[in-house]
């Protein structure tokens, strides 16, 4: 059995191992977790020909530095506009490259983007919990939170030179300054003027930002009337408004239930682009219907399928020649 081993020389906050997520347990109070940018995660895995639910390293603007102390392995990087280098030599922030024993892989923030992914031609060794290696950062169950001094093992590591190349950056991977939302389901607790404010004014992402969610700064969204709603299930992308009036957009590690009213929910097609916004970036919201949001999700999923199929087609051609 071949393997590659890395020494973690540096790992910024929220550098974790993630797979697609932990599904089917929301009713028990267990969040799905998984990647903040699901499209970038899928592209990194597909670029290597990995199984859909393989694990990868997710890091944010704190960056990561990994020294290969044993073996060699091919790596795919995707997500945001980060700077990646091997031994100080730039490699594609969206690309596939190999690293061998003695070399150091570094990922640093670039001009845009909050999350990026490192997938490996092999299997990251990390504990599974409820059938998933997605790291739940609130409990640290499953997966792995990377810290300096740790060893990271890649089991069944391979070098795949036929895969090495730069990847095309999809337009849909850019941060979204305008985000589509479906109003409700508790917009009845907000005055028409407050709804208008949500849809016409600009909000700024605050520094209160992690995998659970991000608090927005801007016009207050006061709640009116008596809250007569029970605590209920919360979908990813909910725009929840506590009593202070500052909206909070819930992300991958959101709580599973809550009693604050949800003024809107981000269209799923825009959630990855929203996740790539940074603290102090500005964002506006545009209302769409539920059917329009569903249509945009289907369109985006189709575009991603074509992109992933194109990765495979290019690999087949390169294998022939």
Give a yes or no: residue 141 inside a domain: yes
238 shares a domain with 104: no
Question: What is the C-alpha to C-alpha distance for residues 33 and 227, in angstroms, rounded to an integer?
Answer: 29
211 shares a domain with 248: yes
* Helix %, strand %, coil % of the chain (to 5): 20, 35, 45
261 shares a domain with 147: no
pLDDT score, position 315: 42
pLDDT(107) > 60:
yes
Could you tell me the pTM of the whole model? 0.93
Region label for 86, one of left (φ > 0), alpha (ψ between -120 and 50) or beta (otherwise): beta
Evaluate whether 212 touches 250 at the Cβ level (below 8 Å): yes
pLDDT score, position 73: 98
Q: What is the CATH number of the domain that holds 277?
A: 2.40.100.10
pLDDT(321) > 60:
no
Give a yes or no: residue 318 inside a domain: no
Q: With CA atoms as reference, report the closest residue to 44 among 146, 135, 173.
A: 173
Give a yes or no: residue 300 inside a domain: no
Q: With CA atoms as reference, report the closest residue to 278 among 181, 230, 207.
A: 207
Give a yes or no: residue 319 inside a domain: no
Question: What is the C-alpha to C-alpha distance for residues 33 and 26, in angstroms, rounded to an integer?
Answer: 11
- For the segment 246-285, what is each residue's pLDDT rounded down to a tens digit? 999 999 999 988 879 999 999 999 999 999 999 999 999 9
Residue showing tokens 């545009």: 286
168 shares a domain with 71: yes
Give a yes or no: residue 306 inside a domain: no
Question: What is the C-alpha to C-alpha distance for residues 216 and 200, in angstroms, rounded to an integer?
Answer: 15
Question: What is the C-alpha to C-alpha distance for residues 46 and 124, in angstroms, rounded to an integer?
Answer: 16
193 shares a domain with 159: no
- The total domain count for the chain is 2
236 shares a domain with 197: yes
Give a yes or no: residue 315 inside a domain: no
pLDDT score, position 250: 97
Where is the domain boundary, 136, 157, 172? 172
Measured from the Cβ of residue 266, the count of other Cβ atoms closer than 10 Å reads 25
Measured from the Cβ of residue 150, the count of other Cβ atoms closer than 10 Å reads 14
Where is the domain boundary, 148, 172, 196? 172
pLDDT(174) > 60:
yes
196 shares a domain with 145: no
Evaluate whether 56 touches 118 at the Cβ level (below 8 Å): yes
Question: What is the C-alpha to C-alpha distance for residues 132 and 33, in angstroms, rounded to an integer?
Answer: 10
**Domain span including residue 109:** 3-172
Give the H/E segment covering residue 316. Answer: helix 290-320
Give a yes or no: residue 317 inside a domain: no
pLDDT(316) > 60:
no
Where is the domain boundary, 137, 172, 207? 172
In this prediction, residue 1 has a pLDDT band, given cuts at 50, 70 and 90, of low
Cα 150 to Cα 66, 68, 146, 186: the distances in Å are: 10, 12, 7, 45
Region label for 33, one of left (φ > 0), alpha (ψ between -120 and 50) or beta (otherwise): left
Rg for the chain, CA atoms, rounded: 20
49 shares a domain with 28: yes
135 shares a domain with 92: yes
- For the segment 28-53, what is each residue's pLDDT rounded down to a tens digit? 889 999 999 999 999 999 999 998 88
151 shares a domain with 252: no
281 shares a domain with 153: no
Give a yes or no: residue 305 inside a domain: no
197 shares a domain with 60: no
């Amino acid at each position: 059995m071949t393997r590659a081993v890395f020494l973690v020389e540096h790992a910024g906050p929220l550098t974790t191992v993630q797979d697609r997520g932990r599904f089917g347990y929301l009713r028990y109070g267990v969040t799905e977790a998984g990647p903040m940018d699901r499209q970038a995660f899928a592209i990194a895995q597909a670029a290597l020909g990995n199984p859909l639910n393989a694990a990868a390293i997710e890091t944010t603007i704190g960056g990561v530095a990994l020294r290969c102390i044993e073996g060699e392995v091919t790596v795919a990087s995707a997500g945001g506009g980060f700077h990646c280098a091997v031994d100080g030599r730039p490699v594609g922030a969206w690309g596939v490259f190999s690293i061998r024993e003695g070399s150091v892989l570094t990922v640093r923030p670039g001009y845009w983007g909050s999350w990026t992914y490192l997938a490996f031609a092999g299997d990251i060794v990390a504990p599974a919990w409820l059938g998933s290696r997605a790291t739940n950062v609130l409990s640290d169950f499953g997966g792995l939170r990377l810290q300096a001094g740790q060893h990271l093992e890649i089991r069944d590591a391979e070098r795949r030179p036929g895969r090495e190349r730069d990847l095309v950056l999809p337009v849909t991977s850019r941060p979204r300054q305008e985000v589509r939302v479906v109003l409700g389901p508790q917009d009845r607790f907000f005055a028409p003027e407050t709804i208008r404010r949500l849809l016409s004014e600009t909000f700024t992402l605050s520094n209160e930002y992690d995998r659970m969610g991000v608090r927005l700064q801007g016009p207050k969204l006061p709640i009116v009337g008596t809250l007569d709603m029970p605590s209920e299930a919360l979908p990813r992308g909910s725009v929840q408004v506590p009593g202070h009036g500052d909206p909070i957009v819930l992300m991958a590690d959101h709580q599973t239930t809550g009693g604050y009213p949800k003024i809107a929910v981000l269209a799923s097609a825009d959630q990855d682009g929203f996740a790539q916004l940074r603290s102090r970036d500005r964002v506006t919201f545009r209302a769409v219907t539920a059917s329009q949001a569903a249509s945009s999700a289907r369109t985006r999923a189709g575009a991603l399928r074509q992109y992933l199929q194109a990765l495979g087609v290019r690999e087949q051609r390169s294998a022939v020649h």
